[in-house]
Amino acid sequence: MLAGSPSPASAEDAADVAPLGYVGARMLYARSDFDIDLGAFGAGAKVDAGDGFGFGLLGGWRFDRWAALELELDYVPDIPIRLVQPVDQHIGDAWVLTLIPALRGFPFVDLLPDAVSPSVLFGTGMLITEGSVDIGTRHGSAMAATLALHFAGTLDVRVTRNVFLSLEGGYTLAPIALSVDRFSLAPNVVLVGAGVRFEF
């Protein structure tokens, strides 16, 4: 072998750490975990938020075998808001959009075959929401943004060389409640998604 020629082992090691870009899209089921306080606007009322469906987009750069930088956008357009006390009735709707820069880790990269790729993700970014509530003749509507923390676990299964099916479950937490108009809202959401991811 000529001096300076890379050995097969060193070439394989280089491929392991070569940067790799990816993009993906998924459908989402959102289980709302809103903390809503209507204050004087709805004195004595107890309010809850229902479930909704949305979509998510993501793009990332896997700079190491063990880790990737990622940007996620999730949007749930129609979350029903219900009055559950003193009576049960639909009183409004809300939408939620999150934009989360995140770090994704691949802790089992040496334990599982390449066709299966579980990972964990943590990020912090921005959550934007708008909602409207009608109780009797009173109407409240507000749009605001707050800090969001996002935790998730993902299982990717290879379909072709560059295409994966993805299943993800996660939780988006708004640690600082939004205080707007006459009520406060902490729009926490459990997200379950399924979609595809493409590597290039």
Domains of the chain, with CATH numbers? 18-199 (2.40.160.20)
- What is the average per-residue pLDDT within 152-166? 96
Share of the chain above pLDDT 90, in %: 52
**What is the value of pTM for the model shown?**
0.82
Bridge partners (DSSP) of residue 46 are 85
Lowest mean per-residue pLDDT among 29-38, 105-114, 164-173 = 29-38
